[in-house]
Amino acid sequence: MGQAKRRGTLEQRIAQAHAKIEATRPEKLVCNGCGADVKQIHPVSTRGLTGIEAIWLGQCDCGQTTFAANGKPEAVQAFFDALSSDTELTLGRQRQDGSGHETV
Ligand SMILES: [Zn+2]
């Protein structure tokens, strides 16, 4: 009985954690590159990012990647600061994936 109860609690906790993340899911993102609506949005692990509750990654048809983050404002700001310092790398990789034929 005690075991069943504990399992129920764990399932509830997992469900709650999922619900908490899903609650922050943006309906859509606006592409940083072409301004189109991005509807392919995936959650990204926030492990190790203190103060960040959820990160969403939107993949636009044009190949641009757009991020959205929820959490403490300073933590979100720090995340985007880190992201922008790494943007060239990330975008370069995405562009290669997207077009495949680009030789720079
Ligand atoms: Zn785009």
> What does pLDDT average to over the chain?
79
Residue-level pLDDT at 81: 86
Which pLDDT does position 104 carry in this prediction? 42
pLDDT in tens, 24-68: 898 889 998 899 999 889 998 888 889 999 999 999 999 988 899
What's phi and psi for 76, nearest 5 deg? -65, -40
Q: What pLDDT is recorded for position 91?
A: 46
20: tokens are: 């908490």
CA distance 18 to 28: 19
Q: What residues does the ion ligand 1 have nearby, CB within 5 Å?
A: 31, 33-34, 36, 60, 62, 64
- Residue 30 contacts residue 46 (beta carbons within 8 Å): no
Beta bridge partners of 83: none
Q: Measured on CA atoms in the order 21, 22, 26, 31, is the torsion positive or negative? A: positive
| End-to-end CA, the chain | 64
83 CA distance to ligand 1 centroid (A)?
Answer: 18
Domain boundaries, the chain: 2-99
Model confidence, pTM:
0.65
Q: How far is the CA of 98 from the centre of ligand 1 (A)?
A: 11
